[in-house]
């Protein structure tokens, strides 16, 4: 068994209030076998991936963080969605499936197989779509992409050794260890809090003198709570077309793309910002090593080449701001808190309370999922997509996922936020902006 790191425990506990399962989509050209054959092969491979043979055990009274324990991958964790699908009907079924969040004390992942998909982008006929649904506590975007890569690369006949332990014994040992840690944890929280306060006061004075520091944004029409339904769309584009042949990073080009299409959707506000997820240096045993930063989309800059450069600078500034000393000390103090205090804090989170401002009008998650060398049977992967979770004040999110030379731009929302016609118009605006942005960043 392994004690869950602070960030992973928070992700798990918060999922009770804000569902945060991740859905990693991989589209394969005709794999040369039926879906049942694909399911058998993937289940056998999952048995050889250590991270896919885990589940969570809670500790009584939250006296300690939950624990990861061994749990053999089961065949029923691979779900086959039978019947012929169009690409959009596949996304519609997946959107409905997102209602069914995982219970990680029973299983921390599930695979969904769709096929044949007749008109999947770039795949031709008879594509198979594989979606890895996985609890966020098991990993951030980078780690879950690596887990998926291990799944598709794993041998089908070498299961990971499983060391089963009684849940009663696990809970008892964990509770005792948690109680023993409490004195030094409380001391660390107090010390770290004082240091963080002093550093924050110094940095606040510096921030006031820095007019470029990120601020909040007024609530827009998409900063509302979703219902239980999800609407999904995906655009695929060549990396070189989006980035102007490499003159810009994928993330910068994607945010520039949003700077063109998003204001039109929101009624041309004076400013628009995004909440961008950025990776942090791995911290010990934590599986989630990321934070969200505010990035302004520089609507005041008319030339798109200049705007892209401004957005790139603002991304860099936001990353530096997130690594400032006070924030690092505050995170360390938070990580030192006894588990029961952290658990209590997550239960006090009020999802009905609306802030006066938001860090960004939409959330953007951008992950490079590596080379396009994954295989399923005889089929090769053609692209990968992802769908960042919605929240009470974020009713529209975007996923930017690269695999090989293809980038998938995904849009996730809810009918309670955007109707189908409005969503389709927005996606068309994104498509129309791709050529303009690609040309602008290549000449900038």
Closest alpha carbon to 382 in 3, 31, 1: 31
pLDDT at 199: 40
In a domain, 84, yes or no: yes
In a domain, 379, yes or no: no
In a domain, 374, yes or no: no
8 Å CB contact between 377 and 31: yes
- Over the chain, what is the mean pLDDT? 87
Let me know whether 268 and 410 are in one domain: yes
Q: What CATH number does residue 424 fall under?
A: 3.30.559.30
Tell which of 117, 150, 176 closes a domain. Answer: 176
Mean pLDDT of 284-302: 93
In a domain, 384, yes or no: no
pLDDT confidence band for 248 (50 / 70 / 90): confident
User: How many domains in the chain?
Assistant: 2
Let me know whether 36 and 161 are in one domain: yes
Let me know whether 65 and 203 are in one domain: no
pLDDT confidence band for 442 (50 / 70 / 90): confident
Q: Tell me: pLDDT of 183 over 70.
A: no
SS3 string, 345-378, reads HHHCCCCCCCCCEECCCEEEEEEECCCCCCEECC
Q: Tell me: pLDDT of 82 over 80.
A: yes
pLDDT at 60: 83
In a domain, 382, yes or no: no
Q: Which domain holds residue 260?
A: 183-368+390-443
Closest alpha carbon to 160 in 40, 4, 54, 2: 54
Report which of residues 135 and 63 the model is more confident about: 135
* Residue count (the chain): 444
pLDDT at 284: 77
Tell which of 176, 195, 218 closes a domain. Answer: 176
**Distance (Å, whole) CA 116 – CA 174:** 47
Q: Tell me: pLDDT of 362 over 70.
A: yes
Q: What CATH number does residue 120 fall under?
A: 3.30.559.10
Let me know whether 155 and 298 are in one domain: no
Report which of residues 231 and 332 the model is more confident about: 231
Closest alpha carbon to 58 in 15, 104, 7: 104
pLDDT confidence band for 184 (50 / 70 / 90): very low
Tell which of 176, 206, 239 closes a domain. Answer: 176
pLDDT confidence band for 173 (50 / 70 / 90): low
Report which of residues 174 and 74 the model is more confident about: 74
pLDDT confidence band for 200 (50 / 70 / 90): very low
- From 117-121, 174-178, 226-230, the region with the lowest mean pLDDT: 174-178
pTM above 0.75, yes or no: yes
Let me know whether 111 and 188 are in one domain: no
pLDDT confidence band for 268 (50 / 70 / 90): very high
The tens digit of pLDDT for each residue in 18-71 reads 999 999 999 999 888 889 999 999 999 999 999 999 999 999 888 889 999 999
Report which of residues 227 and 207 the model is more confident about: 227
Let me know whether 201 and 142 are in one domain: no
Counting residues of the chain whose pLDDT is more than 70, the rounded percentage is 83
The tens digit of pLDDT for each residue in 380-436 reads 999 999 999 999 999 999 999 999 999 999 999 999 999 999 999 999 999 999 989
pLDDT at 192: 44
Closest alpha carbon to 236 in 26, 50, 72: 26
- From 54-58, 238-242, 280-284, the region with the lowest mean pLDDT: 280-284
pLDDT confidence band for 159 (50 / 70 / 90): low
The tens digit of pLDDT for each residue in 143-156 reads 999 999 999 998 87
Question: To 10 degrees, what angle do helices 6-14 and 325-336 make?
Answer: 70
pLDDT at 164: 61
Let me know whether 188 and 306 are in one domain: yes
In a domain, 385, yes or no: no
Let me know whether 262 and 148 are in one domain: no
pLDDT at 177: 57
**Strands, E assignment, 31-141:** 54-57, 67-70, 78-81, 109-117, 127-134
Q: Which residues in 247-259 are b (16+ Cβ under 10 Å) and which e?
A: bbbbbbbbbbbbb
Let me know whether 107 and 187 are in one domain: no
Mean pLDDT of 114-123: 92
């Amino acid at each position: 068994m392994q004690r869950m790191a602070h960030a992973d425990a928070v992700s798990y506990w918060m999922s009770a209030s804000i569902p945060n399962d991740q859905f990693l989509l991989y589209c394969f050209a005709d794999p040369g076998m039926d879906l049942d054959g694909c399911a058998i092969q993937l289940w056998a491979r999952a048995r050889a991936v250590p991270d896919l043979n885990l589940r969570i055990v809670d500790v009584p009274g939250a006296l300690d963080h939950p624990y990861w324990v061994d749990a053999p991958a089961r065949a029923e964790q691979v779900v086959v969605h039978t019947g012929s699908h169009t690409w959009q009907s596949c996304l519609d079924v997946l959107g409905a499936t997102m209602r069914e969040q995982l219970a990680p004390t029973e299983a921390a992942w599930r695979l969904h197989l769709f096929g044949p998909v007749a008109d999947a982008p770039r795949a031709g006929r008879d594509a198979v779509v594989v979606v890895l649904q996985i609890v966020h506590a098991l990993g951030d975007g980078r780690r879950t992409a690596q887990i998926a890569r291990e799944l598709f690369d794993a041998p089908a006949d070498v299961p990971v050794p499983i060391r089963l332990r009684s849940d009663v014994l696990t809970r008892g040992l964990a509770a005792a260890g948690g109680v023993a840690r409490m004195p030094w944890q409380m001391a660390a929280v107090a010390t770290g809090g004082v240091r963080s306060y002093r550093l924050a006061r110094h940095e606040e004075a510096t921030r006031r003198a820095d007019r470029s520091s990120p601020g909040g944004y007024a609530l827009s029409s998409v900063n509302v709570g979703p219902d239980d339904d999800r609407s999904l769309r995906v655009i695929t584009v060549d990396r070189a077309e989006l980035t102007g042949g490499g003159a810009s990073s994928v993330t910068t080009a994607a945010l520039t793309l949003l700077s063109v299409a998003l204001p039109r959707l929101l009624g041309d506000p004076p400013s628009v910002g995004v909440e961008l997820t950025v990776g942090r240096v791995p911290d010990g045993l934590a599986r989630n090593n990321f934070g969200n930063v505010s990035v302004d989309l520089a609507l005041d800059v008319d030339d798109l080449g200049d705007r892209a450069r401004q957005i790139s600078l603002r991304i860099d500034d936001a990353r530096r701001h997130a690594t400032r000393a006070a924030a690092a000390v505050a995170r360390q103090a938070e990580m030192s808190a006894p588990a029961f205090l952290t658990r209590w804090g997550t239960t006090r989170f009020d999802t009905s309370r609306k802030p006066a401002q938001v860090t960004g009008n939409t959330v953007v998650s951008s992950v490079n999922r590596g080379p396009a060398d994954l295989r399923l049977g005889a089929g090769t992967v053609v692209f990968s997509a992802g769908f960042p979770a919605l929240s009470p004040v974020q009713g529209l999110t975007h996923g930017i996922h690269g695999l090989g030379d293809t980038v998938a731009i995904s849009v996730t929302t809810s009918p309670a936020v955007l109707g189908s016609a409005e969503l389709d118009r927005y996606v068309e605006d994104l498509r129309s902006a791709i050529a303009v942005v690609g040309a602008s960043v290549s000449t900038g």
